[in-house]
Amino acid sequence: MPVTKTESLMTDSLKDAAAGGLIALALFSLMIGMKAEVASGLGGQLGIEYRWGAVALAVAIVFAGRLFLNLFVWKAEKPATQSIGSLLPKASSFSGLGKYAMPIFLVLAVVLPFILVSWLGTRGSRQYLDLAILVTTYVMLGWGLNIVVGLAGLLDLGYVAFYAVGAYSYALLAQYFGFSFWICLPLAGILAAFWGIILGFPVLRLRGDYLAIVTLAFGEIIRVVLLNWYDFTGGPDGLSGIPRPSFFGLEFSRGEGGFADFFGLKYNSIHRIIFLYYLILIMALVTNFVTMRLRKLPVGRAWEALREDEIACRSLGINTTNTKLTAFALGAMFGGFAGSFFATRQGFISPESFTFIESAVILAIVVLGGLGSQIGVVIAAVVMIGGFEFFRGLEEYRMLVFGLLMVGIMVWKPRGLISTRTPSISLSGKAKGISADLVQEGHG
């Protein structure tokens, strides 16, 4: 009796799901099944807690998930994602709302501290203001990396190196020369841009995966140097006592001559947190403004031409060397600015804060938001960084939940949350959004 197409599909899907379940069993047996614990009643001896029920649940989820995806998405004649996509509104229907999205986000960002303080009080709002500062920092980093990856099409896996250069530049200049934050801020950006040019020169002829490997190596080189140059950077001990920024010379300290005393306010530690929030918000907005202005200039159009086709870009007479170097330098400069803010916000930095996972998170924000999309970076940063903090209560399971959400987003929107791009220039002056399917992803 011949096997029908439906039976063949079910058989292949079950085999694939079973293989996925076996791989999950091998991985989760160590990751979830065994948990090391210190037994307090046995003199602090180290013991192992076995959780095979959790392993069975995780394997069942993987098996059911792969079976569902095979039957209804990957191997189906009509994928369910197409049916769901046909029910959702088209991107063109939201084109009129795009111009209102940025003003709404901006107004919400400006009034956020006042809403939180009036709603939760000064003590209850501290946690959420810190989270807002963290999210805004990653928004700025995402906008900086978007120049390199989204506009120029150069895959950079070592962006955290410029973040580290900016942080250590401010910390070392403040420690050895006593410079204030406002003097160190531009110097940190200049030094990070200088290192961006240094990275750009050796990789001018590299493209695609080779470029990604070299940038990854560069990020690790910077981290290893910071870790081993103990006399200069403090090594694994890091640098502490980094000075805080002042408000036009007014320190956020208790007593006479401080910020609260000058404005006749009752001293509250929340004042410094609100100031830091508005400081990173202004820095992020400046990054966005400069990026959008540069995108409409010849250098910005050269970036996008380089992303589309480097050979055609050269045939048009565009200097690809200068184009790549400007992209690396400007992206690195904004990373350096964000790094200097990170140092002054934390008051302490160490090489452990600048690992590869930071580069991966920033790159994921850019890709999930949509390459070249500024508002997409904002949405992705809020979802990824804010959501990551809210899942902190799940302990070791939060990374699994986080990974599942990322997989779901990439299955649903493989080109990013905001896949439609607005052209930098048009003949009519009233350009509509271009679908991401018509735009190259860029190969460096």
The C-alpha atoms of residue 420 and residue 68 are separated, in whole angstroms, by 29
pLDDT at 373: 80
Cβ proximity of 368 and 406 under 8 Å = yes
**Confidence tier at 236 by pLDDT (50, 70, 90):** confident
- Quick one: which of 52, 50, 54, 56 has its CA closest to 37? 50
Tokens coding 387 = 């959501």
**Confidence tier at 290 by pLDDT (50, 70, 90):** very high
Sign of CA dihedral 178, 183, 185, 189: negative
The C-alpha atoms of residue 281 and residue 218 are separated, in whole angstroms, by 29
Cβ proximity of 260 and 272 under 8 Å = no
pLDDT at 34: 80
User: E-strand spans in 165-302?
Assistant: 239-240
Residues in the chain: 444
The C-alpha atoms of residue 370 and residue 101 are separated, in whole angstroms, by 16
Torsion angle, CA of 378/383/388/389, rounded to 10 degrees? 70
pLDDT at 281: 94
Between 428 and 196, where is the model more confident? 196
The C-alpha atoms of residue 196 and residue 217 are separated, in whole angstroms, by 14
Q: Is the pLDDT of residue 260 over 60?
A: yes
**Confidence tier at 442 by pLDDT (50, 70, 90):** very low
Tokens coding 83 = 């049916």
Between 164 and 105, where is the model more confident? 164
Global pTM reads 0.80
Sign of CA dihedral 381, 386, 392, 397: negative
Q: Is the pLDDT of residue 284 over 80?
A: yes
Q: Is the pLDDT of residue 92 over 60?
A: no
Q: Is the pLDDT of residue 21 over 60?
A: yes
Write out pLDDT tens, residues 320-336. 888 888 998 999 999 99
Cβ proximity of 128 and 120 under 8 Å = yes
